[in-house]
């Protein structure tokens, strides 16, 4: 098919609203689900301008919905996202063995829009920096950044994150801070940040205290609404100019809710309600939902026009049974002290999420390999002590057993 015709077809597809796509095959859905789709159709008819926010002291301005590229492997989705209005793309050296960065770079290069987008990547994982002296860590960090730039085919990245931080002292490492500052001076990095899935409150507070970090990419979603310390830390970050980017906004993969939630709410309602809950916190500049198809792309970006919840979305967010049934591990780390064998339960739960909910088995495997064997699957004896400590009713033993079936 000629390229011109392809472009016309893509534009036609993008003009279809998320509600229009989701409305196909509504027969057989519960009345509440059909009503939710009707509400979304009406909402899209009165679309406003895209909501933009500024990322702390970086002064980077972007739409409140960005793209987490981790699970995507189709360059057409990246291109379509740009055409729809996405301006911030988040990737990592770790994703898909480097091919994720290559895909992002190829698309941005093809479109010739480097000056119109904000590119973030993540390097120097926990396993890669473990056991290094500060000077060794600095050298490895700089080398990793240069490798990422080569894969991206770019002279610089807008945001470079230290990948997967769970302890505050990690971001105070003198070698890492020096390496980040050197990359800034060389013009290879505009702003630096840390990504964190666990111990988020402490990480954000330490980033604010140190003053060396411009951005924090943190897990946050509606199942964590009672975590006052985390919300306060975000507010403090906002006051001090540290930009906050949200990930795991869909509670670890709400595209695939369990049968109980699916009978009560459409997957579209779950996704948009979850995103709106996160983005109604004005301390969060943008979120990076990870989608891999056009339907979810349109669905997620529809939130960028209007953060007012529909009646069905409000009902979903107020449903405490749903919060528990989603079984999202909030990475609160309460289970760590209860394990007699030192299993890294929060990371194992995140690995399960990558495998079972994202269907990203390669990333799950690499994350498993990135933690010490003594705290991995071998450390768990299925004693169920940690499950009893979980405030979010996560069936930890079952999830670890499922991981063993895949990776043991």
Query: Contact at 8 Å (CB) between 32 and 312?
Result: yes
Query: What's the rounded mean pLDDT across residues 268-288?
Result: 96
Question: 327: pLDDT confidence band, cut at 50, 70 and 90?
Answer: low
125-129, 188-192, 402-406: range with lowest mean pLDDT: 402-406
Statement: residue 46 has pLDDT above 60: no
Going along the chain from its start, the domains and CATH numbers come out as 13-314 (3.20.20.100), 336-407 (no CATH)
Predicted pLDDT at 27: 37
The 10s digit of each residue's pLDDT in 162-180 is 999 999 999 999 999 999 9
Question: The whole model's pTM is what?
Answer: 0.81
| % of the chain residues with pLDDT over 90 | 58
Residue in this structure with the two tokens 């749903």, named with its chain if needed: 322
pLDDT above 70 (res 31)? no
Other CB atoms closer than 10 Å to residue 133's CB: what's the count? 10
Tens-digit pLDDT profile for residues 342-386:
888 888 887 887 777 777 888 888 888 888 887 888 778 777 778
Q: Is the pLDDT of residue 111 over 80?
A: yes
Q: Are 27 and 3 in contact (CB under 8 A)?
A: no
- CA 102 from centroid of its chain's CA atoms: 19
- Side by side, the strands of the sheet bearing 284-287 are 67-68, 88-90, 118-123, 157-162, 189-196, 215-219, 243-247, 284-287
Residues 197-248 pLDDT 10s: 989 999 999 999 999 999 999 999 998 898 999 999 999 999 999 999 999 9
Q: At what angle do helices 174-185 and 134-152 cross, to 10 degrees?
A: 40
pLDDT for the residue 305: 97
Q: pLDDT at position 276, please? A: 98
* Chain center to CA of 117: 18
Per-residue pLDDT band at 329 (split at 50, 70, 90): confident
Top pLDDT among 339 and 137 is at: 137
**What per-residue confidence (pLDDT) applies to 80?**
98
pLDDT in tens, 255-275: 554 566 667 888 889 899 999
pLDDT at residue 11, as a whole number: 42
Q: 99 vs 127, which has greater pLDDT?
A: 99
Instruction: Give the least confident one: 147-161, 275-289, 394-408.
Output: 394-408
Instruction: Report d(CA 298, CA 277) in Å as an integer.
Output: 18
Selected residue with higher pLDDT from 114 and 35: 114
């Amino acid at each position: 098919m000629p390229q011109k015709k392809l472009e016309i077809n893509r534009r036609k597809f993008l003009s279809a609203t998320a509600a229009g796509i989701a409305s196909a095959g509504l027969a057989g859905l519960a009345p509440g689900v059909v009503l939710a789709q009707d509400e979304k159709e009406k909402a899209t008819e009165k679309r406003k301008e895209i909501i933009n926010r500024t990322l702390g002291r970086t002064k980077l301005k972007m739409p409140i919905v960005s793209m987490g590229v981790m699970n995507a492997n189709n360059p057409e989705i990246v291109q379509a996202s740009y055409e729809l209005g996405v301006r911030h793309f988040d990737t990592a050296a770790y994703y898909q063995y480097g091919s994720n960065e290559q895909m992002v770079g190829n698309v941005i290069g093809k479109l010739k829009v480097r000056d119109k987008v904000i590119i973030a990547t993540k390097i120097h994982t926990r396993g890669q920096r473990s056991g290094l002296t500060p000077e060794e860590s600095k050298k490895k960090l700089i080398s990793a950044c240069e490798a990422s730039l080569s894969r991206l085919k770019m002279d610089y990245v807008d945001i470079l994150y230290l990948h997967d931080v769970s302890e505050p002292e990690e971001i105070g490492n003198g070698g890492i801070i020096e390496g980040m500052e050197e990359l800034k001076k060389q013009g290879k990095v505009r702003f630096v940040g840390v990504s964190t899935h666990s111990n988020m409150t402490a990480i954000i507070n330490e980033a604010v205290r140190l003053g060396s970090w411009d951005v924090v990419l943190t897990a946050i979603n509606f199942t964590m609404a009672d975590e006052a310390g985390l919300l306060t830390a975000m507010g403090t970050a906002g006051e001090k100019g540290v930009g906050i980017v949200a990930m795991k906004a869909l509670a670890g993969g709400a595209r695939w809710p369990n049968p109980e939630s699916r009978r009560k709410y459409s997957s579209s309602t779950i996704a948009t309600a979850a995103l709106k809950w996160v983005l109604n916190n004005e301390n969060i500049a943008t979120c990076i939902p990870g989608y891999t198809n056009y339907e979810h792309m349109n669905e997620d970006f529809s939130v960028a026009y209007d953060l007012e919840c529909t009646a069905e979305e409000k009902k979903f967010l107020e449903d405490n049974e749903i919060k528990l049934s989603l079984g999202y591990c909030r990475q609160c780390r309460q289970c760590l002290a209860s394990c007699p064998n030192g299993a890294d339960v929060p990371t194992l739960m995140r690995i399960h999420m990558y495998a079972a909910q994202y269907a990203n088995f390669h990333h799950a495997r690499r994350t498993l390999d990135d933690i010490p064997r003594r705290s991995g699957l071998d450390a768990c004896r299925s004693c169920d002590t940690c499950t009893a400590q979980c405030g979010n009713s996560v069936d930890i033993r079952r999830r670890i057993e499922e991981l063993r079936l895949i990776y043991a």
